[in-house]
């Protein structure tokens, strides 16, 4: 969980490096939170029928879009690729 919070604290930090563990722990927790949000929305009946998700999932994705990009770019820097 600390890795997830570390990524969120570096919200707009596209410079530097992200180690493998930081990247994959963020991806794991993001996946878990997304599944939980979708399940809660479906249980409460908040999910849109055509899409299968609702407001909780949408807020999660919108709130973590930039940190996801930032950690991906930092991970690319760590493996020697050009992120931006």
- 24-35 residue pLDDT tens: 999 999 999 999
| CA 54 from centroid of its chain's CA atoms | 17
Q: What percent of the chain has pLDDT over 70?
A: 98
CA distance 5 to 28: 13
Residue ranges covered by each domain of the chain: 2-78
CA distance 6 to 65: 15
Quick one: pLDDT at residue 83?
66
pLDDT higher than 80, residue 52: no
pLDDT higher than 90, residue 11: no
Both structure tokens of 8: 């969120």
Quick one: pLDDT at residue 84?
67
Quick one: pLDDT at residue 32?
97
């Amino acid at each position: 969980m600390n890795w997830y919070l570390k990524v969120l604290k570096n919200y707009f930090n596209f410079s530097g490096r992200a180690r493998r563990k930081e990247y994959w722990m963020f991806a794991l927790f993001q996946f878990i939170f997304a599944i939980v949000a979708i399940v809660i929305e479906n249980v409460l009946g908040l999910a849109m029928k055509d899409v299968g998700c609702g407001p909780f999932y949408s807020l999660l994705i919108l709130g973590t879009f930039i940190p996801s990009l930032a950690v991906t770019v930092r991970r690319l820097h760590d493996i020697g690729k050009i992120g931006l």
